[in-house]
Chain A
């Protein structure tokens, strides 16, 4: 039996030569000591394979047309057998792919693995990052709900700011003068043909270079890379190294398997993302937010002052891209160990801190007014209980004039303006009136929008807003001394 199997195998092998082709890959020598640091690239690739499979399966049901896409997503979520799970898996694995890719790049950067002779390997990786972010954005558009619609709208508005070519870019992004069915179809073609095709080409190139140049050995402080001696040195390390099969590849497999298990579990627990409300621009009650990958950019765009906005829109992504491209050329020689590269370590920390803070701000978006706070967030009952008739009317005026959309009471409400829970301890009667009438800072002037009685009533209410023990604000003259 065994003999027959071997004969059949041999027959095929003689014609296909697969084992012969694989032997150098599995048998290629890798430096010792790589251990578990080197598993993130293969995990990214594994997740990409999941994306290919789930993507193909979703495309069997999804209808990429302006009028049916939303319906077909609903069908996937609620009717199609396990459609919800496939959607969830595709979304979770996409996030996981971005995470693994970023970890992989960070590890390569910190360990100086991009240095001579692996500059091109790094550049292929940068290309893969760009394409993966492109997949994330186009994928979000295929969700064809409000967030998708306004995501394209925001992307168009950003591109539309470019001088001269701006309007043409808008038409190229939207595939026409406005967002519509053609926009979706084009994003679909990008998401399922163009970008994955490019991605696969880049992966092949990346892997070819990994095999050709070998993986770098773990960095040793005080052992800088010198292109003149590196190759001979690496040969020595390989001679002393281990073959890719069995141990390194086993580590890759175990980590990839664990990653997949976690992703599958998360997909099952979190469920599919959206679709939210239909992509109808006449639904004004909309609160568009990008997916998490783009929240730092969303935050940056809210926080950058108007004159710097073009820099934030075009400059920051361009600078990030340029820096990533230049890294292997600027730093192709020298120390690899993070212990001897404080600038590299600090810039990684700085980058992730900035992205994290911007992303968190983008998530909470304190600059956004809470659109239905005025009618949907009650005035705290403890405040209402002690109000007199004029102050009650004032509190109602405060709500109806949409003050609450930007100002919180007891921490609930908009965060664009200050929380007014204790405003009477900070501003006097006159200062309150002036602030309401004239505005100031980010606050528009309300003078022409309120009657004298409304101002009186609202200020009377605001003057009640102080904790029982604390004294009211004193007049500006005495308080500022």
Chain B
């Protein structure tokens, strides 16, 4: 150890001669300023992180095609661009829905997401059933639950006809406690 560098060793214990009130002031400021600094930096950080939660976007009406594209009594799948998509979403910004035309001006539009755990259901026109590939949920053509684990029928989008084109109110992933929005505005 003779040639080694000087070890700092234990720092000498300096008998703190500061007056008690100065110590109190330092303690007070270190805590208060530290708290303010943490809040100043932390609030925006948390606000940013929870931005997707606090920024509740309202669903929008999306055009999904001319009504003539949908034969009465049949169910067709339509693709559309998600209204909340980002420019860099790529194909993941697309979305799809099942359109069932029940009458000349009557449409039922179902989300593709199974109400069990959200997997995409497939429509089988031959048997008139929607089948889910994940856990075997089955729905009838009118969206009602037929069998399997789903707790309810298929999610249905609010639909309206504008100048011969079908529109649906969409913009968020439908889940059990947050199904598609109900149309509140009056039809124009």
Tell whether any CB of A sits under 8 Å from a CB of B in the complex.
yes
Which A positions have Cβ atoms within 8 angstroms of B? 14-15, 65-68, 70, 144, 149-150, 153-154, 156-158, 160-164, 166-168, 170-172, 174-184, 278-282, 284-288, 298, 301-302, 306, 309, 365, 367-369, 371, 374, 400-403, 405-406, 416, 439, 442-446, 448-449
A15, A156, A162, A167 pick with most chain B CB within 10 angstroms: A167
Q: Are A278 and B91 in contact (CB under 8 A)?
A: yes
20 of the cross-chain contacts (CB-CB < 8 Å) are A14-B5, A66-B88, A67-B92, A153-B117, A168-B53, A171-B56, A178-B171, A179-B173, A180-B93, A181-B88, A181-B93, A282-B94, A282-B95, A287-B133, A298-B134, A400-B127, A402-B126, A402-B127, A439-B147, A443-B147
Q: Evaluate contact between B148 and A66: CB separation under 8 angstroms.
A: no
B133 pairs with A288, CB closer than 8 A: yes
Interface residues, chain B, CB within 8 Å of chain A? 3-5, 50, 52-53, 56-57, 77, 79, 82, 84-86, 88-96, 112-113, 116-124, 126-129, 131-136, 138, 140, 146-149, 151, 171-173, 175-178
Contact, CB under 8 Å: A172 / B82? no
Find out whether the CB atom of B129 lies under 8 angstroms from the CB atom of A166: no
**Interface of chain A, main secondary structure:** loop
Are A181 and B131 in contact, CB atoms less than 8 angstroms apart?
no
Cα–Cα distance between A439 and B126 once the two chains are bound (Å): 17
A446 to B138, CA, bound (A): 12
* Top 8 A-B pairs, shortest CB-CB distance: A67-B90, A160-B175, A157-B118, A177-B172, A167-B178, A280-B91, A444-B146, A166-B177
Specify which chain A residues have a CB less than 8 angstroms from the CB of B124 in the assembled complex. 374, 402, 405
User: A174 contacts B92, CB within 8 Å?
Assistant: no
Is B148 in contact with A442, judged by CB distance below 8 angstroms? yes
| Chain B residues whose C-beta falls within 8 Å of the C-beta of A156 in the assembled complex | 118, 173, 175
Which residues of chain B come closer than 8 Å to A281, judged between CB atoms?
92, 94-96, 112, 120
Cβ–Cβ < 8 Å partners of A158 in chain B: 117
Give bound CA distance, A3 to B77, whole Å: 80
**Partner of B50 from A14, A170, A172 at Cβ < 8 Å:** A172
A405 to B121, CA, bound (A): 14
Report whether B147 and A442 are in contact in the complex, using a CB–CB cutoff of 8 Å: yes
Closest to A406 in B: B136
Q: In the bound complex, do residue A177 and residue B57 qualify as a contact, i.e. CB atoms below 8 Å apart?
A: yes
Q: Which residues of A contact B127 (CB under 8 A)?
A: 400-403, 446, 449
Most chain A C-beta atoms within 10 Å of own C-beta, residue among B52, B85, B148? B52
Given contacts A368-B135, A402-B129, is CB(A67)–CB(B89) below 8 Å? yes
> Is the CB–CB distance between A177 and B173 below 8 Å?
yes
Question: In this complex, what residue of B is CB-closest to A313?
Answer: B117
Please determine whether B131 and A369 come into contact, CB atoms closer than 8 angstroms.
yes
Q: Are B92 and A177 in contact (CB under 8 A)?
A: no
* Residues from chain B with Cβ under 8 Å of A174 in the complex: 52, 173
Complex contacts, A288 vs chain B, CB 8 Å:
119-120, 133-134
Tell me how far the C-beta of A445 lies from the nearest C-beta in chain B, rounded to whole angstroms. Answer: 8
Cα distance A280–B86 when bound, in Å?
A: 15
Contact A160 B177 (CB under 8 A): yes
* Distance of A236 Cα from B86 Cα, bound (Å): 66
CB distance from A372 to the nearest CB of B (A): 9
A306 touches B151 (CB 8 A): yes
- Is the CB–CB distance between B133 and A369 below 8 Å? yes
CA distance A172 to B50 in the complex (A): 7
Between A171, A301, A306, the greatest number of chain B beta carbons within 10 A of the residue's beta carbon is seen for A171
A153 touches B94 (CB 8 A): no
Question: Which residue of the partner chain A has the closest CB to B144?
Answer: A444
Judge whether B86 and A178 touch: CB under 8 Å.
no
- Could you tell me if A401 and B117 are in contact, using CB atoms closer than 8 angstroms? no
Assuming A279-B92, A286-B133, is B149 touching A306 (CB within 8 A)?
A: yes
Q: Is the CB of B177 within 8 A of A162?
A: yes
Q: Indicate if the CB atoms of A449 and B128 lie closer than 8 Å.
A: yes
Most buried by A among B52, B117, B176: B117
**A184 to B178, alpha carbons, bound, how many Å?**
22
Known: A150-B120, A177-B171, A280-B91. 13 other contacts (CB 8 A): A66-B90, A154-B134, A156-B173, A177-B52, A177-B57, A181-B89, A281-B96, A281-B112, A288-B134, A302-B149, A401-B127, A444-B146, A449-B128
The chain B residue with its CB closest to the CB of A150 is B119
With A and B bound together, what is the CA distance between A184 and B85 in angstroms? 13
Q: Are B173 and A66 in contact (CB under 8 A)?
A: no
Q: How far is the CA of A455 from the CA of B124 in the complex (A)?
A: 18
Chain B residues, CB < 8 A from A150: 118-120, 134
Contacts of B178 in A (CB 8 A): 160, 166-167, 170
